[in-house]
Chains A and B, each alone.
Chain A
Amino acid sequence: MKKINLRQASVPIMFIIICAICIPLSGLSPKMLVNEIVTRMGRNAFLILSLLIPIMAGMGLNFGMTLGAMAAEIALILVCDWQIVSVPGMILAAIISVPISVLLGIFCGKILNRAKGREMITSYIMAFFVNGIYQLIVLYLMGSVIPIKHSTIKLPRGYGIRNTVSLLSMRQKLDNMLAVTIGGVKIPVLTFIIIAVMCLVIVWFRRTKLGQDMRAVGQDMEVARDAGINVERTRIISIVISTVLAGLGMIIYLQNMGNIATYTAHSQIGMFCIAALLVGGASVDKASIGNVFLGVVLFHTMFIVAPRAGAYITGDSMIGEYFRVFVSYAVITVALIMYETNKRRAKSAASQRLQEEQDAESPAGGENS
C-alpha cells in the first residue's frame, strides 16, 4: 500500500521541490506570494471543483468543462452589454449561463456515451468543435442577430465582439465583498464562502443516491446496469453538473480577472484546471477535494514564481512563461502514463502470484523464468 501511495504522491512531491527551488530565486516577498496564492485560490478553485463529479462517474479528466466556460462568457458579454453591474450582474450572468451549460452538457454527455473509455480525447476535440460554434455566435451573430447596443464591446465593423471585453463594472466585486485584510494579505471571504459551500455540496452529493449511482457507474458500468441503474442517464447528469459548475466557476474567475479575452479565455482553462488537479495528486479515476486545493496552491505557486525565477536565471522572462505552459502539458502526460502503468502493474502482479503459487507447490521450479 505504501509504495502505491508514494507513486501517487510523486507528482505533488515533484512540484513541492520545484516550488522550493524557485521561491527563493524569484525574489518575491512572502507577503506578495501569499497574496497572489490566495487570489488565485479564489479565482480558480471553483472551476477545478467542477472536474470532480465526472471523475467520480468514471468519465475521467473531462474537457467538457470548457463548454461551461463558453456558456459563462456568452452570458457575461450579454450582461455587460445590458449594463447590469456588480454582483447582481454576476447573478444574472449565472442565471443565463445555466440553461446554456445544461444544453451543452446534455449534448456533450450524449456524445461521450458513444465514446465510452475515450472520454478525455473526445471531450477535448469536442471543445474545439463547440469553440467554432462559440466563435460563430460571438464573431458574427452578436451585433447582427443578437442585439448588442454598446460600441465599446462591439468590433468597429458593427457586429462581432472585440478581442477583450472589459468587466470593470464587476471587477473583483465578489472578492471585495466582506473582504478582510490580515497582515497585508487580502482574503476574499465571500468567494471563499462560496467555494466552501461548493465543497460541502460535493461532500453531500457523494452521499446521495445519485452520487452513489455515479460512483457505481464509474467503477463498473456493466455491473451498475445489471443492478438497474440507468448508466447513460447517470453519465449525462454528471457531465451536465460539471458544465453548469464550470460556467459558474468561470464567472467567478472572470470577475476576478476583470476582463474577458473573448476568443481565448476558455481555450486553456480546461488544460490548466486539469493540470492543477493532477498536480494536486489526483489521477484519471480518483480525485478528492484535497487534491483540488493542494493542486491550486502548488500549480499556482509555480505559475507565480517560475517566470520570475526564469527571468532571474536567464535574464529573459519568456523562459518562465514557456516553462509553465510546458509543465502543464507534461503533468497531464505524466499522469496519463502513470495511470496506464499502474493498470499494467496490477495485471502483471496477478501473473507474478500465479508463478509464486506454482513455485510454492514444486520447490524444484527455481529455474523458471
Chain B
Amino acid sequence: METNSAPLLKLQGIKKDFNGNQVLADINLELGKGEVLGLCGENGAGKSTLMKILFGAADITETGGYSGDIYLDGQKVSFETPFEAIEAGIGMVHQEFSLIPGFDATENILLNREPEKYSFISEIFGDRLNTLDRKKMDERSAEAVEKMGVAIDRHMMINSMPVGHKQFTEIARELSKDQLKLLILDEPTAVLTEREAEALLASIKGMSERGISVIFITHRLQEVLTVCDTVAVLRDGVLVECTPASETDEARITKSMVGRSIMGVAGSDDASEQPDAPTILSIEKLWVDMPGETVRNVSLDVKEGEILGIGGLAGQGKLGIPNGIMGLYEAGGTVTFEGRQIPLNNPRICLDSSFAFVSEDRRRVGLLLDESLEWNISFPAMQIQNKFLKSYLGGLIKWRDEKAIRELTEKYIEELQIRCTGTKQNARQLSGGNQQKVCLAKAFALQPRLLFVSEPTRGIDVGAKALVLNALKKFNKESGTTVVMVSSELQELRQTCDRIAIVSGGRISGILPSSAPMEEFGTLMLKDVV
C-alpha cells in the first residue's frame, strides 16, 4: 500500500442506500498502480454495488447516486454512465457475457471501436459508411490477446467457443482499450476450468506488471491468496478487513466473510432435528436447466414436518431445486413424494399432489399484479382444488363464492398483517414486503402438504422479514406442513430451519444442523463453487 505517488484509485467514505436500505457503509479503499486487489464477501455483502458505483452503472444513478468520493489518479471523479468510466480508463468484465454470439473473437474485442478505412461515401452519409479495416482489426486484437497472455482463436465464432474462451474474449476486449488503467473482474474464474483459471491468474500477474491495476472478485479464496496483493472483505456493506494477502489465510477470510458479532450462537431457538420422522420427499439425481442456477445430480431427502433450509451463494443452483421440481424449468431425475413418483416438468401434477411454491420472482411468477388481493389469494385454491366455488346444475356451472373469498382474504390480511386499503386493492400497489405476505397467503390457502419457499425475504424490510419467517414457522408447526426454504441469507435459514443443506456448484455440498458454527457453513458454501 505504501506507494510514494498518489494511489491510482482511492475510495473515500462511499455510502449507498436503496430506499433507506443501507447497502454500503463508509467504504474506504486504496489501490496503487499495478496492484491487484482481491474482493471477497457473501452475496448481498455489497461487492457488486461497490463495483457498480465505480463503473457508473445506471441502477446507481437511477436510485439517487451515492455519497462519498472517488479519486482516480488523484482526480475526483463521478461517473454518470459506464461510458464515462470506460473513457477514464476503467474496464469491467461482468459475470454475464456481453458478447455478440455470431461474431468472431476479433469482432467482439473491437466491437464499436473498429478501425475504419476512409471512403468518400462517408462524406455524404456520415462516418458510419466507412468500411472496416479488417487487417488492422486483426492486428489490434492480436495485440490484445498477446497482452492477455492466454492464447485464444481470434477467428472463432463466439457461439462455438467453450465458455472459458468467451471469458477470455471479454478480458481481451478490455485490454484492447488503450486508456485502460483499472480492470474489474467479477468472478471471472467461475466459468473456467482449472487450467484456464491458472492461465487467467498468470494473465492477471502480467497485467499488474504492465501497470494495470486489477480488482478481482471471486469466491475461490485460494486464487485470491495466489494472485492478489491485498485482500478486502465486505460483509453487510461494511469493509471488515483489508490486509496484505501475505498476512492472511483462507480460514481467516472465510471467518470475516460469514462471521457476525453473534458468531457461533445457535440459530433457531426451537430447531429440532427429527431423525426418526419418515421421509416425505425424496429427490434423486435431479438436474435442472435453469439459466444461472443450474442443478447437477442432487439427491436429497426431506423429512415429514421439518423445515429444511437450502442455502448457498448466488448462481450455485439453490434456486434451481424448487423451480425444477415444480416444473418451471426443464428438469430430470426422480422425485418421490409419499412413496409416489412425481413426474417432472408438469406444474399441474405438482400442485395436484399438494405441493405449493412461493417463487423468488414474486412480481412475475408469484402474483397477478393487476388483480385484487382476493383474487391473488384465492386463485390457486380455486383453480387447483375447486375451493370457493359454488356449483349449480350438478356442477355444470360454477360460480365464485365471493363471500368465502372475502372472508379468507380478510383472515390472512389480519394474520399476516398485510398493510392494504382493503381486500379489493390491486397487488401491484402493495410494498414488496406486503406482496410477499400475499404470496405466502396464497400458498397457505392451498393447505399444501409440502411448501417450497424461495427467497422469502428478498428485498423486504426488517420488520416484514421477521413476520414472514414467523408466519412460516407457525404454519409449519400448526398445520404440520413440511417446508423447504431456499434463501441466500444464512442467518435467516439458521433462525428458521431445522436442517440446512448447502448447495455449491449445483450440488449438495453438505447438510448441517442449524446450530452448526458459521465457519462450517462458510466452508461448505465455497466447496465446489463454479
Can you report 24 residue pairs joining A to B where beta carbons are below 8 Å apart? A204-B131, A208-B119, A208-B128, A209-B116, A209-B131, A210-B128, A212-B107, A213-B128, A216-B100, A216-B112, A219-B101, A219-B102, A220-B99, A229-B112, A351-B287, A351-B289, A351-B330, A354-B289, A358-B287, A358-B296, A358-B297, A362-B285, A362-B297, A365-B297
Contact B100–A210 (Cβ < 8 Å): no
Q: With the chains together, A260 CA to B112 CA distance in Å?
A: 44
Q: With the chains together, A351 CA to B283 CA distance in Å?
A: 18
Chain B 182-225 near chain A by CB (<8 Å), digits 1 or 0: 00000000000000000000000000000000000000000000
Given contacts A354-B294, A368-B333, contact A224 B285 (CB under 8 A): no
Chain B residues 133 to 184 lying within 8 A of chain A, measured CB to CB, are: 134
Contact B285–A368 (Cβ < 8 Å): yes
Please count how many residues in chain A sit with their CB below 8 Å of the partner chain's CB atoms.
32
Which residues from chain B sit less than 8 Å from chain A, CB to CB?
82-83, 98-103, 107, 111-114, 116, 119, 127-132, 134, 285, 287, 289, 294, 296-297, 330, 332-334, 344
**Among A224, A361, A368, which residue has its beta carbon within 8 angstroms of that of B332?**
A368
**Please, which residues of chain B bring their CB within 8 A of the CB of A207?**
131-132, 134
Contact B344–A354 (Cβ < 8 Å): no
**Please, which residues of chain A bring their CB within 8 A of the CB of B294?**
354
Helix, strand, loop or mixed for chain A's interface? helix
Q: Is A348 an interface residue (CB 8 A)?
A: yes
**Among B103, B129, B297, B344, which residue has its beta carbon within 8 angstroms of that of A209?**
B129
Which residues from chain A sit less than 8 Å from chain B, CB to CB?
204, 207-210, 212-213, 215-216, 219-220, 222-224, 226-229, 347-348, 350-351, 354-355, 357-358, 361-362, 365, 367-369
Give the shortest distance, in Å, between B326 (CB) and chain A (any CB): 16
**Please, which residues of chain A bring their CB within 8 A of the CB of B287?**
351, 354-355, 358
Give the shortest distance, in Å, between B113 (CB) and chain A (any CB): 8
Give the shortest distance, in Å, between A153 (CB) and chain B (any CB): 36
Give the shortest distance, in Å, between A198 (CB) and chain B (any CB): 15
Contact A212–B285 (Cβ < 8 Å): no
The 9 A-B pairs at the shortest CB distance, nearest first, are namely A210-B128, A227-B112, A351-B289, A227-B111, A351-B330, A358-B297, A209-B128, A207-B131, A219-B100
Give the shortest distance, in Å, between B288 (CB) and chain A (any CB): 8
Contact B112–A213 (Cβ < 8 Å): yes
Given contacts A210-B128, A369-B344, contact A219 B103 (CB under 8 A): yes
**Please, which residues of chain A bring their CB within 8 A of the CB of B344?**
369
**Among B82, B103, B130, which residue has its beta carbon within 8 angstroms of that of A216?**
B103
Most buried by A among B99, B119, B130, B285: B285
Contact B82–A208 (Cβ < 8 Å): no
Give the shortest distance, in Å, between B441 (CB) and chain A (any CB): 34
Give the shortest distance, in Å, between B224 (CB) and chain A (any CB): 27
Give the shortest distance, in Å, between A348 (CB) and chain B (any CB): 7
Give the shortest distance, in Å, between B286 (CB) and chain A (any CB): 9
**Among B99, B102, B127, B296, which residue has its beta carbon within 8 angstroms of that of A357?**
B296
**Among A220, A226, A347, which residue has its beta carbon within 8 angstroms of that of B101?**
A220
Q: With the chains together, A219 CA to B131 CA distance in Å?
A: 20
Contact A228–B83 (Cβ < 8 Å): yes
**Among A210, A354, A355, A367, which residue has its beta carbon within 8 angstroms of that of B129?**
A210
**Please, which residues of chain A bring their CB within 8 A of the CB of B112?**
213, 216, 224, 227-229
Query: What residue of chain A has the Cβ atom nearest to residue B116's Cβ?
Result: A209
Q: With the chains together, A213 CA to B107 CA distance in Å?
A: 11
Give the shortest distance, in Å, between B95 (CB) and chain A (any CB): 14
Q: With the chains together, A31 CA to B20 CA distance in Å?
A: 81
**Among B99, B107, B332, which residue has its beta carbon within 8 angstroms of that of A351?**
B332
Extra A-B contacts (10), CB below 8 Å, given A207-B132, A223-B111: A208-B129, A209-B127, A212-B114, A212-B132, A226-B98, A227-B111, A227-B112, A228-B83, A351-B330, A369-B334
Give the shortest distance, in Å, between A2 (CB) and chain B (any CB): 15
**Please, which residues of chain B bring their CB within 8 A of the CB of A222?**
98
Contact B296–A209 (Cβ < 8 Å): no
Query: What residue of chain A has the Cβ atom nearest to residue B288's Cβ?
Result: A354
**Please, which residues of chain B bring their CB within 8 A of the CB of A209?**
114, 116, 127-132
Query: What residue of chain A has the Cβ atom nearest to residue B296's Cβ?
Result: A358
**Please, which residues of chain A bring their CB within 8 A of the CB of B330?**
347-348, 351
Contact B103–A208 (Cβ < 8 Å): no
**Please, which residues of chain A bring their CB within 8 A of the CB of B334?**
367-369
